């Protein structure tokens, strides 16, 4: 392969090997501050979470386009104002002990990161048709809300959102999320000036990890819940493993990701 292969890996990778998927993996309601509590309890120093916009452009944490699965609300998240979303229960679906848990704003997540010394992978998860503005506002928020902290790593499945993030805040590092890996992945990550390749772990091979590293990019694997698979991926050099099983993939079992000398 040509076009930039054999680049040196960036040394600017201040992140640990393990990240808690959707804040607290399966140990807490996803994308909530209760997830941060679980993350801290299990010794994790990094979270991944999903960020999107309310109808009135408040940035908040939620995975789905709709409210039903993880809140007591109904319909499209994008059709609700923040005032409406802020009243929803985002914890009772998971267990009665979490009843009353609220949807966090991006600012509240940033405060939690600062308080607990946690780094963040902010996945830009735009509501349908809102890719560009969500990318722009998340990137601006990453700059202003994370001042003085480990800089967050942005990622998205949306090319448009990441392009807008790149234009709004070029200095905030970006990673492209892929499910099946397209043949032109290198063109895509170069166009977005990404530092990392975020891969569905099932499509990763030792050879692909080596190719991505040769292109000068870090590798994140999602969502890895099997301990033996996580250890194999770490052995291949996968730089970050995003997991739901923060209770079984323990930080002491993994070394820090390699950094160039
Ligand atoms: O960022 C990795 C992972 O979170 C992507 O999938 O659907 O859990 O947001 P999803
Ligand atoms: Mg995600």
Q: Work out the average pLDDT over 224-242.
A: 98
CA 246 → CA 23, 65, 178, distances in Å?
Answer: 10, 25, 23
Q: How confident is the model over 56-115, as pLDDT tens digits?
A: 999 999 999 999 999 999 999 999 999 999 999 999 999 999 999 999 999 999 999 999
Confidence of residue 12 (pLDDT cuts 50, 70, 90): confident
CA 77 → CA 31, 54, 88, 194, distances in Å?
Answer: 14, 6, 11, 29
Question: Does ligand 1 lie within 6 Å of residue 30's CB atom?
Answer: no
Q: What angle do CA 196, 44, 46 make, to 5 degrees?
A: 30
Which residue CA neighbors atom 5 of ligand 1 most closely?
A: 222
Question: Does ligand 1 lie within 6 Å of residue 242's CB atom?
Answer: yes
The SS3 of residue 135 is: helix
How much is the pLDDT for 258? 85
The SS3 of residue 176 is: strand
- Enter the tokens of residue 28: 């807490």
Global pTM reads 0.96
What domains can you pick out in the chain, each with its CATH number?
18-251 (3.20.20.190)
How much is the pLDDT for 11? 73
- Cβ within 8 Å of residue 154, ≥6 positions away: 121, 122, 123, 124, 138, 139, 142, 162, 165, 172, 173, 174, 175
Q: Which atom of ligand 1 is closest in space to residue 222's alpha carbon?
A: 2
Judge whether residue 3 has pLDDT over 90: no
Q: Mean pLDDT across the chain, nearest whole number? A: 96
How much is the pLDDT for 2? 42
């Amino acid at each position: 392969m040509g076009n930039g292969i054999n680049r040196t890996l960036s040394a600017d990778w201040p992140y640990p090997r393990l990240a808690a998927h959707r804040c607290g993996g399966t140990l807490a309601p996803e994308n909530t501050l209760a997830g941060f509590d679980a993350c801290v309890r299990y010794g994790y120093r990094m979270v991944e979470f999903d960020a999107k916009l309310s109808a009135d452009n408040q940035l908040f944490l939620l995975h789905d386009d709709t409210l039903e699965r993880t809140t007591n609300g109904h319909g499209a998240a994008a059709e609700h104002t923040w005032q409406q979303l802020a009243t929803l229960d985002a914890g009772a679906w998971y267990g009665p002990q979490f009843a009353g848990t609220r949807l966090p704003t991006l600012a509240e997540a940033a405060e939690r990161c600062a308080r607990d010394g946690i780094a963040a992978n902010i996945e830009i998860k735009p509501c349908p048709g809102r890719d560009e503005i969500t990318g722009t506002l998340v990137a601006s928020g990453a700059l202003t809300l994370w001042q003085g902290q480990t800089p967050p790593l942005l990622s998205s499945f949306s090319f448009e959102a990441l392009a807008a993030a790149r234009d709004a805040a070029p200095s905030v590092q970006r990673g492209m999320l892929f499910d099946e890996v397209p043949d032109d992945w290198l063109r895509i990550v170069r166009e977005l000036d990404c530092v990392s390749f975020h891969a569905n772990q099932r499509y990763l091979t030792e050879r692909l990890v080596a190719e991505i590293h040769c292109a000068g990019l870090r590798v994140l694997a999602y969502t890895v819940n099997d301990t033996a698979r996580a250890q194999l991926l770490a052995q291949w050099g996968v730089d970050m493993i995003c997991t739901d099983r923060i209770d079984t993939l323990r930080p002491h079992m993994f070394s820090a990701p390699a950094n160039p000398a």
